[in-house]
Amino acid sequence: MRPQNRTMKYLILLLLTTTAVFAQSEISYKGETINKIDENGNKTGIWKIFDEANGIEVHFVYKNGERVEDTKYYKNGTLMLAFDLERNLVLYKDGKTVKAYYSRDDNDGTTQVPMEDGTAVPQDILDYLIPFNTLHPMYYGGIKELTKYIADNIDHSKIKSVVGKTTVLFTLDRNGFIAVDEIKGTDNPQYIEEVKKVLAQAPRWQPGYQVGGFVKCSFSLPLTLK
């Protein structure tokens, strides 16, 4: 390859990579622009995550990767719970305001939630908190849209032989980016390269959220090349 051609190839690759990262820097969902990532990979601005099946939303405001306002938990549009910057929980339950203190060890994920006066949290309060403990990762539009995105964006001309059914194993990070770990069911290098490239450029997911913090999650995705 001539030096000029090699340079042009690198420039095109850099442009594609930059475009993909820029396209993933924010999410457009339900008529809003949310879940932005700044140039340093930090959360910034308004973040919202959803449990659509149960009508739950959690709202955050970030700057340089740090929360700068209370986290607010809603169910069917009603404010149910707030988590302030001093790690105090405020529950709005049965027309009353109940306060507790939340502590989470980011190393092992263990949590403690004593009441404001230091006593143990009553069972009814723990039950009240359960629906907000875990919000699962979500591909905006659903898994069918993800598989369609992959099928529409794979360059089939680069795959030299039929592959059939495969399983893509990948990890979702705390910002919703995908990293492919393994592709089972094929050793076709062109197919593996194409799937990795398409997933690297795919729109970000809603990341997983568990007991007060965003978490990494592992997935397996059945994929059939037609």
Q: Taking residues 46-55, what's their average pLDDT?
A: 97
Residue-wise pLDDT tens digits, 172-204: 999 999 999 999 999 899 999 999 999 999 999
Phi/psi region, residue 9 (left: phi>0; alpha: psi -120 to 50; beta: rest), is alpha
Helix (H, G, I), strand (E, B) or coil at 93: strand
Q: Which residue, among 67, 63, 62, has the nearest Cα to 104 in the 3D structure?
A: 67
d(CA 78, CA 171): 33
Q: By C-alpha distance, which of 51, 49, 56 is closest to 29?
A: 49
pTM over 0.75: yes
CB atoms < 10 A from the CB of 63, how many?
A: 13
More confident site: 67 or 124:
67
Each residue's pLDDT tens digit, 79-112: 999 999 988 889 998 888 988 887 766 665 556 6
